[in-house]
Amino acid sequence: MGFSDKMKTHRSGLSSLFSSLRVKGQKLTSFPLLELPYELLERVTMLSNPMDIMSLRRTCKTISTITYKHWVWLEVAVVVLDENGVVLPPKLLNDMPLEDLERLSLQPALFRRRLRDLGQGADAELWPVTQCLMRNCLPADEAISMHMTLVGGGRFLFVQHENHRKNDLFLIRLPATSEVRGEASTIAHTTFPEGSHSGRIHDYWRVKHSRSILRLVILEVLRVSVMSFSVDRARLLYFREELYQISIYEIDTAAEQPFFALIARTSDFGDITAMTSEIKHCGESRISLCDPKSLLLWDFARDERISFNIPGPPNPWDYVLPHVKVVDNRVIYLQRHRLAIYVLPRDAKGPLGKLRPSFELKSSHLSNVYFPHPATPRDPFVFHVHDRSRDNIRTYELSRGSGVPRAGSPRPMPRSGAWGEIWGPAPFVGCAGAHVITRILSLSARYAMWIDDDGAEGEAYAGSARLMCGDGESLLDQATFDAVSGRMCVAGPEHSLLVVDYV
């Protein structure tokens, strides 16, 4: 079963109009499409797949003339940005030269091609095309811990500093390419509320109909109380109490002076007693979270909550941080050994008690679930269940309006050490038709794993690549990667930042 993507299918359908133009060794003198009015031909070209446009440039003089127009590639780039949720202010986009617009439009497809060229199976090494060490780029404050998040498109980087005194969040703008030593600058900075113990970005997303506005959901730990005492000399009891709040921030990267604006905050989590899940956005103004027994959806624009009970794990030692995805009125709960789909009642509000799942799938401890993030209501929700004990994968597709997914046939998967490093549900990013899962840990464990939909009938086309970079011995463990742009950022010594481009 192939991956469904309405936008991709739409663009491929337009590109197929040009399929007969790709005839090697023949000059194209007559083709019905070329008889269209020139203005209409420009529009059709603009809506085609970027890789097809580059092919047509070499085979058709008329199309070649069109593809050297700045505004045509500007329109192509806009479609690519919207498909992939890329953040890029309009001024930066409009001021790009033609070559940079072409590169921006082709990045997802070129990264997919580089992965496929490495082949399937054993972990290959993917080396950068260019890289640049930017000195004094990261904040100079001493931090006990630092976390980095590269925003989709690779032009913005969140950096978080935590220490005993304060918790800071910075937004850094990066150059378009690491081929030249461009300027990286901090454009916004905020400090979490005084007295907070720690704060961590759990998710970010681009505001709909805007290519410059970002929203962030941050879990802030306000207080931590720890007690430990000995009942007798043979036992030690440990008790930890934490006080949380969730804050939603918004920042316009196109503003003359961007700043983090607090737009919502809550410490009302209903029946949830512990933060034991990832907190993810599920729509323009809604987030999801859960603990082992309860699931909560918070619409922060209306300050409305929906909650219901979920069955806990078979034993607490098997509990891995779950993920919750919401598509329309379907809630998908993903745990290490269990996946369940719940259909919310019409106009649901408040506590719903116990809901019966419309679909439930239990799997072994040697199984992984790969799911899309973000999930969009316009597309079917596609997820993969990878059974490592049998080295096969099965793809499921949850169609719009349905509560039960359609299952494809199991397909063989190549064995690779990188896949075995994933424990629990893992999100993937759509990248020009491929689904890319990233695993960014220490210097020795930075991988991009991919599943493609263009394999032969009955088999999965997949592989993994270790993300390599120069100066490895002097780099730190902190790193972040964006598959859409094929860019990785790695923290270096003395507040430096290594920007690595794989396309």
Range list of H helices, 85-213: 90-94, 98-117
Same-domain status, 294 and 404: yes
Report the distance separating Cα 489 and Cα 95, nearest Å.
24
Q: Does residue 284 belong to any structural domain of this protein?
A: yes
Question: Which pLDDT does position 24 carry in this prediction?
Answer: 46
Question: Which pLDDT does position 343 carry in this prediction?
Answer: 97
Looking up residue 329, the CATH number of its domain turns out to be 2.130.10.10
Same-domain status, 22 and 134: no
pLDDT bracket for residue 145 (50, 70, 90): confident
Same-domain status, 244 and 173: yes
- More reliable by pLDDT, 496 or 62: 496
Question: Which pLDDT does position 98 carry in this prediction?
Answer: 93
Question: Which pLDDT does position 46 carry in this prediction?
Answer: 83
Most confident of 276-285, 294-303, 439-448, 462-471: 294-303
> Do β-strands 338-343 and 330-334 pair in parallel, antiparallel, or remain unpaired?
antiparallel
pLDDT bracket for residue 472 (50, 70, 90): low
Report the distance separating Cα 426 and Cα 114, nearest Å.
22
Go through 223-245 and write b for each residue having 16 or more CB atoms within 10 A of its CB, e for each that does not.
eeeeeeeeeeeeeeeeeeeeebb
- For the cut 80, the answer to whether the pLDDT of residue 484 exceeds it is yes
Number of domain units in the chain: 2
- For the cut 70, the answer to whether the pLDDT of residue 492 exceeds it is yes
- For the cut 80, the answer to whether the pLDDT of residue 198 exceeds it is no
- For the cut 70, the answer to whether the pLDDT of residue 420 exceeds it is yes
- For the cut 80, the answer to whether the pLDDT of residue 314 exceeds it is no
Instruction: State which of 90, 109, 128 marks the end of a domain.
Output: 109
pLDDT bracket for residue 13 (50, 70, 90): very low
- Give the residue from 323, 327, 431, 429 showing the smallest Cα distance to 379: 327
Same-domain status, 394 and 423: yes
- Both tokens of residue 186? 């901090």
Same-domain status, 61 and 120: no
Same-domain status, 202 and 342: yes
Q: Does residue 302 belong to any structural domain of this protein?
A: yes
- More reliable by pLDDT, 489 or 223: 489
Question: Which pLDDT does position 206 carry in this prediction?
Answer: 94
- For the cut 70, the answer to whether the pLDDT of residue 103 exceeds it is yes
- Both tokens of residue 337? 């050994």
Same-domain status, 337 and 463: yes
Q: Does residue 1 belong to any structural domain of this protein?
A: no
pLDDT bracket for residue 6 (50, 70, 90): very low
Q: Does residue 368 belong to any structural domain of this protein?
A: yes
Same-domain status, 134 and 205: yes
CB-based contacts of 71, cutoff 8 Å, min separation 6: none
What range does the domain containing 78 cover?
A: 6-109
pTM: 0.88
What is the CB-side half-sphere exposure of residue 39 using CA atoms within 13 A? 0
Same-domain status, 28 and 100: yes
Question: Which pLDDT does position 64 carry in this prediction?
Answer: 84
Give φ, ψ of 293 to 5 degrees: -125, -15
- More reliable by pLDDT, 22 or 476: 476
Q: Does residue 316 belong to any structural domain of this protein?
A: yes
